Homo-oligomer: A and B are copies of this chain.
Amino acid sequence: MSQSFVYDYPRPAVTVDCVVFGADLREDRLKVLLIQRDIDPFSGKWALPGGFMREHETLEVAAIRELEEEAGLKDVFLEQLYTFSSTDRDPRGRVVSVAYYALVEPEQHAAQAATDARDAAWFALDELPGELAFDHGQILEVARERLRGKVRYRPIGFELLPEKFTLSELQRLYEMILGQKLDKRNFQRKLHRMNILIDTGEVQQNVAHRAARYYSFDEKAYKQLERDGTEFSI
């Protein structure tokens, strides 16, 4: 099939890069998953997990594969971010990179190094291990901006959250992403009004204060709201 492909110019390579944000509710800050490169270029430097797309896979599949290969992460819901194409972004030659981003719980996604990576770890966004490889610092900035914009207009989807969560946890997550404090009463009222929360009936156990209720997302109601184009803002 591709043998018969008529194409006169040298082809650029296509890579995927993944910006996986981890909302560390314990430490109350956002982290990002990085891998330490073990091969040149930028051997020893930290970078976003990612790699070359293969011939028979889509970009999404490549991104999911690379995340597992390089950092041991599975079951991550990725969303396409942007495609980067500066001519000098890779010293090896012409490489176009399609970036994806995701938001997960770092505790449930223990990072572990694998192929081509000396190490894999979570880093707080204000404590990055030096300058990242390639243009990954720039990609990370674009992803942060996108995540902030996204969360402002749409409630964070069920894909991005634990099965069960308390409203305080959800609020802390929003605060981390937006980088600002929110009013507890207003936040709770707004979420309740959206009718996308299901009270699981469970409550926190063994906490030294009044136990919080656990909620889960009402996936059906949420998707219906998305279809209706219902607007939200936090």
Contacts and interface: CB of A to CB of B under 8 A. Distances in A.
Contacts of A11: 11-14
Interface in A36-63: 52-60
Contact of A85 (B6, B59, B82, B92): B59
A5 B93 contact: yes
Interface residues of A, number: 35
A9 B94 contact: no
A153 interface: yes
Contacts of A98: 83, 85, 96
Interface string A197-234: 00000000000000000000000000000000001010
A93 B2 contact: yes
A196 B13 CA distance: 43
Q: Is the interface of A mostly helix, strand, loop or mixed?
A: loop
- Select the residue from A6, A11, A55, A98 with max chain B CB neighbours within 10 A: A11
Interface string A1-27: 110111101111110000000000000
A7 B13 contact: yes
Copies of this chain present: 2
Given A57-B87, A59-B83, A85-B59, A92 B10 contact: no
Interface string A83-97: 101110000111010
A80 interface: yes
A59 B96 contact: yes
Nearest to A8: B52
A6 B83 CA distance: 22
Nearest to A9: B54
Contacts of A7: 13, 52, 92
A9 B55 contact: yes
A10 B82 CA distance: 23
Given A1-B92, A58-B87, 8 more contacts: A2-B10, A11-B11, A12-B14, A14-B14, A56-B94, A58-B86, A59-B83, A83-B98
15 contacts: A2-B94, A4-B92, A5-B13, A5-B92, A7-B52, A7-B92, A9-B52, A9-B54, A9-B55, A11-B12, A11-B13, A12-B55, A14-B14, A14-B96, A58-B87
